[in-house]
Chain A
Amino acid sequence: MNRPATRSRANLAKGRKELQELIHTCDAIEQRKFNPFFLDVKLGVETLREYFPHWRKLEDHCLDAHTINKLSEVVRLQNTQLKFQSSALYADPEFVAKKIERMSEKRLSEVFLQGWHPLAELEQLTPEALTLALEYWNVLLPIQERWKRREYAVGKSPGTTSTETLTDLGIRGEEFSKQLRAMWNSLRAMYDRERKPVDYWRFVGGESYQETVRRAYLASFLITYGYARLHVEGDQMLLTPLDEPTEKASAGAVSFPIPIPKSK
């Protein structure tokens, strides 16, 4: 009992698939991927005729109409191609591609120049342009006025501070140099005592976390400015003090970030 219905469903599915394929081919032809005569329009129309009596749903009828529309576009392109082939402009694309490939750049440019008539263009001030410029000028505010508006975006002006504040912050040159020297002397003392490179974490470790961070900060300057050398051996980072510091950042220096965990 169900066999005819199943066959009909299969037939419908086959019909939809064929129409979709037809639409894809028409699209490719429209996009100039294939020659318009690649598609046998007559066969396409016969396919439409074959399945038309089976369509019941609106979507199927829409698909049918869409396919007709696409086929008519292909017929239009075939017509254009025939007209084009009968005109003087017709040249086989393969032939042109081969010619382009074989001709030298100079010869190609010469051929193009023989058919090229560049446009002439004249640029000049017109009374209308001058009127526009004058109107703009008249409404333009003086430059001081325009700058005033920008003051809202300006940040806090530079201020002054005392040398004591800078010293307290550890920014002032002399104080900072003293701290560096003290660190360097401490590293040298440890190195002389142990007669081997000093473990980085043992050297920077302080009584509190803040102290450790401060010592690590100073140690980074010792390394950058040539007071000490940092080298890694396995999991261990070692510091070796240098006898004659360069006091200058070396040109080939690379950044080596060391995170300081709370446990240190």
Chain B
Amino acid sequence: MPGAKGWELKLKLGRNYEQVLEQLNGLLSELDLEIMKVEELPSRETEKQAIPRAVDEARYVVRLKGTLGSKEAKMIGWRIDNLAALGASIAYLVSKQGKAPREDLEKILAHKFGRWKAVTLVDTFIRSGYLDEDDAGTTALGWRTRSEVDLRSLMTKMAEAKV
């Protein structure tokens, strides 16, 4: 998994690692990159027992500050229909509070991309970390979506988009 955890950075950079990261962020912004702090999701047990999250458990990753155009996305190996399917999957899961049965998600995608492609796409998104799937067959937003996707922007644009 890319990035480094807070405690790892603390070990290497010292207690004031957040200040170091701020300075690094300044340097990276010239390259259209930024440091993103991704909070780890609490496990169900931790959430139920209201156990406070360990300090420095957040993961820090470097990501593109701006966004990509269609042509640039194609250049880094993404197909337009796959991007559309990823956007649709994430938007649907967000509307269902981040979780939905896999079959429901596949049904939504199958309307647009066909049954077999929908199954393959969901598998691909799970493998690449954009989605998660538990033993009960429930899909959820994965670590990569939480790191890379501005959900607020996606949902706003989705609501505004003209059909």
Contact = CB atoms under 8 A, between A and B. Distances in A.
B149 A115 contact: yes
Contacts of A80: 97
A84 B155 CA distance: 13
Interface string A16-50: 00000000000000011100000000000000000
A91 B154 CA distance: 11
B63 A119 contact: yes
A118 B2 CA distance: 12
A194 interface: no
Interface stretch (B6-14, B18-26, B77-85): B77-85
A118 B68 contact: yes
A109 interface: yes
Contact of B67 (A95, A101, A114, A120): A114
A150 interface: no
Please give me the 6 A-B residue pairs with the lowest Cβ-Cβ distance, nearest first: A112-B87, A108-B84, A115-B153, A115-B154, A109-B83, A96-B95
Interface in A60-93: 76, 80-81, 84, 88-93
Given A81-B97, A93-B96, A101-B112, A109 B87 contact: yes
A106 interface: yes
A97 B92 contact: yes
Contact of B111 (A91, A101, A113, A119): A101
Given A106-B80, A119-B147, A96 B70 contact: no
B122 interface: no
Given A116-B67, A119-B147, A120-B33, A32 B62 contact: no
B100 interface: yes
A80 B68 CA distance: 33
Which among B85, B88, B111, B149 has the highest number of chain A CB atoms within 10 Å? B88
A38 B27 CA distance: 51
17 contacts: A32-B96, A81-B97, A91-B159, A95-B95, A96-B95, A97-B108, A100-B91, A100-B108, A108-B85, A111-B87, A112-B90, A112-B149, A114-B153, A114-B157, A115-B154, A116-B67, A118-B76
A80 B151 CA distance: 17
A164 interface: no
A100 B87 CA distance: 9
